[in-house]
Amino acid sequence: MSNETKTMNQQGFVESFLSAGSDSVAHAFKKSSIAAIWFVFLTFPIMVIKVNTIEKTVAWKWENMAYIALAIFFGSFVWRWLLAQKELKKDETKGETKVEALLTVIQTTPLIKFSLLCLIGVIAVVAPLKFTFLSSKFQIFDLYQTNIMVSCLVYVVLGLGLNIVVGLAGLLDLGYVAFYAVGAYAYALSNMHWGLGFWFALPLGAVLGTLLGVVLGFPVLRLRGDYLAIVTLGFGEIIRLVLENWGDITMGPSGISNISRPGFFGMKMTIVDSTIYMYYIMIGLVIFTIFCVNRLQNSRIGRAWLALREDEIACQAMGIDKMKTKLMAFALGATWAGMAGVVFAAKTTFINPASFTFWESAIILSIVVIGGMGSIRGVIVGAIILILVPEYLRDFAEFRMLLFGAIMVLVMVFRPQGLHQPWCHFHLRPTWSCHP
Amino acid sequence: MEYFLELLLGGLTRGSIYALIALGYTMVYGIIELINFAHGEIYMIGAFTGLIVAGLLTMLGFPGISILAIAITCAIIWAAAYGYTIEKVAYKPLRGAPRLSPLISAIGMSIFLQNYVMLAQTSDFLPFPELIPEFGFMSDFKTVMSSSELVIIVATVLSCIGLTLFIKFTKLGKAMRATAQNRKMAMLVGINVDMVISATFIIGSSLAAVGGVLIASHVGQINYFIGFIAGIKAFTAAVLGGIGSIPGAMLGALVLGLTEAFATGYVSSDYEDVFAFCLLVLILIFRPAGIMGKEKTQKV
């Protein structure tokens, strides 16, 4: 290994880049050519031929073939180089990259950590406000960006909630969106029928989420691993379909509109003001969530979750009630989803079942896994990436979701443990599993 | 009675398609314990390839039945190629990674492929030419069963028998069973595990492609989104039967197809998917490992 690294250093960067993952540069060129030819073959029918069966016309788009060949030829060099870098890292577990070293310094020095947190806090607080400084207008987030930030913060709360279930307790839940939907509909319906305000609905959503978590969790938590995953997925779909078809109560697919925004002691607010108000509510909720999750993680029950995740049988032998502990995780995770649902309904003032599809669950799960399971910081970073990236990719219009999918794959391939790996010293086993 | 028969055959057709897709899920799960979310997309790509090839051949004036054969062959070739490539790109670098990482990679792949087909082709529903001709001998039964339903059921039965024989009697099938039981052990006795995994993806994808072309020709239209719901249902079927077990996947798919058909026929068509998922929840609560899953399921 050390010999290899030496030769790697002796070679120029260009050469090492070109020949990464293969014997020589010539070999690498051959590999890339083969990959390019293979992908041209692979994408041939879908990319090149466009048949119109009604008008009986065929459009041939040969130029796409050239684009694919070029993209794959050059892309495959980058791909192999990145894979080789990942391998190198695996071998030298002790070596820290510069970014990681910087992070360690920040974490271990309380002064820097504190002042950084303060800086982030101040920026977060003043961001949506308008300032007049030396007669020039100054504003970090405009209305549109504040709106995006609010939805990003909603996803932070959702991610942190699901993190309890998936990251800490190790229960794969693919139907998390059900609790989110219940919170949203609880506020929307109670607001429509009885004029219930946001501040009463928020705890109501949390309680309903918890209750539903217990009710759904009770029968299914006996199942293991992927069986649990598919049953929770099923429950998520059942809730959505019921919302869609039970038109008398839920207004069906057309949804509920004109949900009132949160009030502040009966003050009248413009849309801009209430968006900024919403933003501050979300900042508060996120801080509250981080505080609770952090306390939970280090509590008796949090440690029980970690133990249960690592080894169920040993955990039971230590006298931990498996069922109760799992149910707690499920219900507590659902609580945050219920609250986030209320906020979502208040933010958009319109909800319909289409907002609560399986994709929503998949996105929330991706936030948790891409961020790094069990890590609060990771979840926040994951939410920012997964929610803000598609928003700012709007310039690419229709390519947005294509890039989004590609980014998900790439992050996982090159950083399978997630962006931030927590509890390094707790990891007894190299792989995390749903069942022992 | 006639209504009952119609529902029964409709359910069998539905179940057959679920079975063809579910086999891919269950085989992949049996070998690498991964819920391959991109599998539904392979089914969709198979259907699209079939549509493109069939459209071209119709314009060139090929006779009816040969179009079906060529379209299915091409769909199989390309779907298998996609399955193989997806495994190499998105799952192989993740061997030994934390368990949920390949799952997220699969979800990302699924989003990617859907949008890829949408951008390259179209986001509208495309009409699919009717490839399966009306057989003469079927005219007496026209009221209860169309010939495309017959073809779908027969093709599924043949594929299932073929697959079972393949797994039971060929060398590669034996290697697959061994890999499913214990990957490390299989490596030690000299089985090329990478090759076995690739073969599993190729076989699973080919079956999905057959299902894709047949059902698209039966229903008459496709769009880029068909893979999602079919994939979820097929996965439900695979779990229902006991995931990792091949006969389980077939049985689960049939049970699911029939339940859906009868529930929509006799109760309400709005709650079609609700019945499917309720059935799943009920069966798993009373039999946590699925219908065919025992303490130790026969994998692959």
User: Which three-class secondary structure string do you get for chain B?
Assistant: CHHHHHHHHHHHHHHHHHHHHHHHHHHHHHHHCCCCCCHHHHHHHHHHHHHHHHHHHHHHCCCHHHHHHHHHHHHHHHHHHHHHHHHHHHHHHHCCCCCHHHHHHHHHHHHHHHHHHHHHCCCCCEECCCCCCCCHHHHHHCCCCCHHHHHHHHHHHHHHHHHHHHHHHCHHHHHHHHHHHCHHHHHHCCCCHHHHHHHHHHHHHHHHHHHHHHHHHHHCEECCCHHHHHHHHHHHHHHHHCCCCHHHHHHHHHHHHHHHHHHHHHCCCCCHHHHHHHHHHHHHHHCCCCCCCCCCCCCC
Q: For residue A425, what are its two tokens? A: 């010293």
Residues of chain A in contact with residue B48, where contact means CB-CB under 8 angstroms, are 45-46
**CATH number, position B47:** 1.10.3470
Q: What is the pLDDT of residue A150?
A: 87
Beta-carbon neighbour count of residue A131 at 10 Å?
Answer: 11
Residue B145 falls inside a structural domain: yes
Tell me how far apart the alpha carbons of residues B182 and B177 are, in angstroms, rounded to a whole number.
9
Q: What is the pLDDT of residue A341?
A: 92
Q: Single out the residue of B241, B230, B254 nearest to residue B280, CA to CA.
A: B241
Q: What is the pLDDT of residue A428?
A: 41
Tell me how far apart the alpha carbons of residues A223 and A233 are, in angstroms, rounded to a whole number.
13
The total number of residues written for chain B in this structure: 300
Query: Mean pLDDT lowest for which of A55-69, B21-35, B265-279?
Result: B265-279
Q: Which residues contact B41 (CB under 8 A, 6 or more apart)?
A: B109, B110, B113, B114, B117, B227, B231
pTM of the model: 0.84
- With vertex at residue A202, the alpha carbon angle to CA A293 and CA A189, rounded to the nearest 5 degrees, is 135
Q: What is the pLDDT of residue A425?
A: 40
Q: Are A433 and A373 in contact (CB under 8 A)?
A: no
Tell me the per-residue pLDDT of A390-413, one tens digit each, with 9 for 90 and over.
Answer: 777 777 767 777 888 888 888 888
Tell me how far apart the alpha carbons of residues A317 and A33 are, in angstroms, rounded to a whole number.
57
CA-based R_g, chain A, Å: 25
Residues B103-119: b if buried by 16+ CB within 10 A, e if exposed: bbbbbbbbbbbbbbbbb
DSSP state of A351: B
Interface test with A, best of B67, B92, B104, B282 (most A CBs within 10 A): B104
Residues of chain A in contact with residue B81, where contact means CB-CB under 8 angstroms, are 41-42
Tell me the per-residue pLDDT of A412-433, one tens digit each, with 9 for 90 and over.
Answer: 888 887 777 654 444 444 444 4
Residues of chain B in contact with residue A358, where contact means CB-CB under 8 angstroms, are 232
- With vertex at residue A95, the alpha carbon angle to CA A93 and CA A99, rounded to the nearest 5 degrees, is 115
Q: What is the pLDDT of residue B294?
A: 59
Residue B294 falls inside a structural domain: no
Q: Is the pLDDT of residue B223 over 70?
A: yes
Stretch 121-150 of chain A: residues touching chain B, C-beta under 8 Å: none
Highest mean pLDDT out of A89-103, B158-172, B218-232, B279-293: B158-172
Q: What percent of chain B has pLDDT over 70?
A: 95
Tell me how far apart the alpha carbons of residues B43 and A8 are, in angstroms, rounded to a whole number.
44
Do residue B109 and residue A242 have CB atoms under 8 angstroms apart?
A: no
**SS3 at position A59:** strand
Do residue A227 and residue B243 have CB atoms under 8 angstroms apart?
A: yes
Give me the torsion for CA of A14, A18, A20, A23, rounded to 10°.
Answer: -120
pLDDT average, residue stretch B146-159: 88
Residues of chain A in contact with residue B239, where contact means CB-CB under 8 angstroms, are 226-227, 230
Tell me the per-residue pLDDT of B1-41, one tens digit each, with 9 for 90 and over.
Answer: 778 888 888 899 989 999 999 999 889 988 888 888 899 99
Cβ of A64 under 8 Å from any chain B Cβ?
Answer: yes
Q: What is the pLDDT of residue B270?
A: 74
The one-letter amino acid code at B66 reads S
pLDDT average, residue stretch A65-77: 89
Residue B7 falls inside a structural domain: yes
Residues of chain A in contact with residue B100, where contact means CB-CB under 8 angstroms, are 166, 172, 365, 369, 373, 432
Q: Is the pLDDT of residue A11 over 70?
A: no
Q: For residue A2, what are its two tokens? A: 């050390």
Of A255 and A215, which is predicted with more confidence? A215
Residue B171 falls inside a structural domain: yes
Give the domain range for residue B269: 2-286
Beta-carbon neighbour count of residue B274 at 10 Å?
Answer: 21
| A137 beta partners | A132
Q: What percent of chain A has pLDDT over 70?
A: 86
Which chain B residue shows the shortest CA-CA distance from A361? B107
Tell me how far apart the alpha carbons of residues B117 and A114 are, in angstroms, rounded to a whole number.
49
**Min CA distance, A278 vs chain B (Å)?**
31
Q: What is the pLDDT of residue A156?
A: 92
Do residue B104 and residue A226 have CB atoms under 8 angstroms apart?
A: no
pLDDT average, residue stretch B194-204: 94
Tell me how far apart the alpha carbons of residues A269 and A272 are, in angstroms, rounded to a whole number.
8
Do residue A413 and residue B128 have CB atoms under 8 angstroms apart?
A: no
Do residue A370 and residue B104 have CB atoms under 8 angstroms apart?
A: yes
> What sign for the dihedral angle of Cα B190, B191, B192, B194?
negative
Residues B201-229: b if buried by 16+ CB within 10 A, e if exposed: bbbbbbbbbbbbbbbbbbeeebbbebbbe
Q: For residue B27, what are its two tokens? A: 């085989």
Torsion region of A133: left, alpha or beta (phi above 0 gives left; psi -120 to 50 gives alpha): beta
Q: Which residue has the tokens 């230590």?
A: A318
Q: Which residues contact A220 (CB under 8 A, 6 or more apart)?
A: A228, A231, A232, A235, B281, B284, B285
Do residue A58 and residue B239 have CB atoms under 8 angstroms apart?
A: no
Q: Are B24 and B90 in contact (CB under 8 A)?
A: no
**Min CA distance, B140 vs chain A (Å)?**
31
Tell me the per-residue pLDDT of A334-356, one tens digit each, with 9 for 90 and over.
Answer: 999 999 999 999 888 888 888 88
Q: Is the pLDDT of residue A178 over 80?
A: yes
Tell me how far apart the alpha carbons of residues A239 and A248 are, in angstroms, rounded to a whole number.
15
pLDDT average, residue stretch B268-286: 80
Q: Is the pLDDT of residue B158 over 60?
A: yes
Cβ of A433 under 8 Å from any chain B Cβ?
Answer: yes
Domain count, chain B: 1
Q: What is the pLDDT of residue B80?
A: 95
Q: What is the pLDDT of residue A139?
A: 65
ipTM here: 0.87
Q: Which residue has the tokens 């009920």?
A: B282
Cβ of A431 under 8 Å from any chain B Cβ?
Answer: yes
Which of B51, B98, B243 is nearest residue A226 as measured by Cβ atoms?
A: B243
pLDDT average, residue stretch A111-137: 72
Question: Which CATH number does A141-426 carry?
Answer: 1.10.3470
Q: What is the pLDDT of residue A133?
A: 62
Q: What is the pLDDT of residue A435?
A: 37
**SS3 at position A22:** coil
Q: What is the pLDDT of residue A140?
A: 66
Residues of chain B in contact with residue A234, where contact means CB-CB under 8 angstroms, are 236, 277-278, 280-281
Do residue B111 and residue A404 have CB atoms under 8 angstroms apart?
A: yes
Q: Is the pLDDT of residue A90 over 70?
A: no
Cβ of A88 under 8 Å from any chain B Cβ?
Answer: no
Q: What is the pLDDT of residue A258?
A: 77
pLDDT average, residue stretch A207-224: 86
Which of A46, A227, A373 is nearest residue B284 as measured by Cβ atoms?
A: A227
Q: Which residues contact B228 (CB under 8 A, 6 or more apart)?
A: B40, B110, B114
Q: Which residue has the tokens 């692979």?
A: A42
Tell me how far apart the alpha carbons of residues B40 and B232 are, in angstroms, rounded to a whole number.
8
Q: Are A347 and A260 in contact (CB under 8 A)?
A: no
Q: Is the pLDDT of residue A434 over 50?
A: no
Residue B192 falls inside a structural domain: yes
Q: Which residue has the tokens 């070998």?
A: B31
pLDDT average, residue stretch A3-17: 61
pLDDT average, residue stretch B257-277: 83
A:B CB pairs within 8 Å: 190
Indicate the average pLDDT of chain A: 80
Tell me how far apart the alpha carbons of residues A356 and A358 are, in angstroms, rounded to a whole number.
7
Q: Is the pLDDT of residue A91 over 80?
A: no
Q: Are A259 and A349 in contact (CB under 8 A)?
A: yes
CA-based R_g, chain B, Å: 19
Q: Are A365 and A176 in contact (CB under 8 A)?
A: yes
Which of B56, B94, B284 is nearest residue A51 as measured by Cβ atoms?
A: B56
pLDDT average, residue stretch B130-147: 73
Q: Single out the residue of B219, B273, B254, B264 nearest to residue B3, CA to CA.
A: B264
> What residue spans define the domains of chain A?
2-91, 141-426
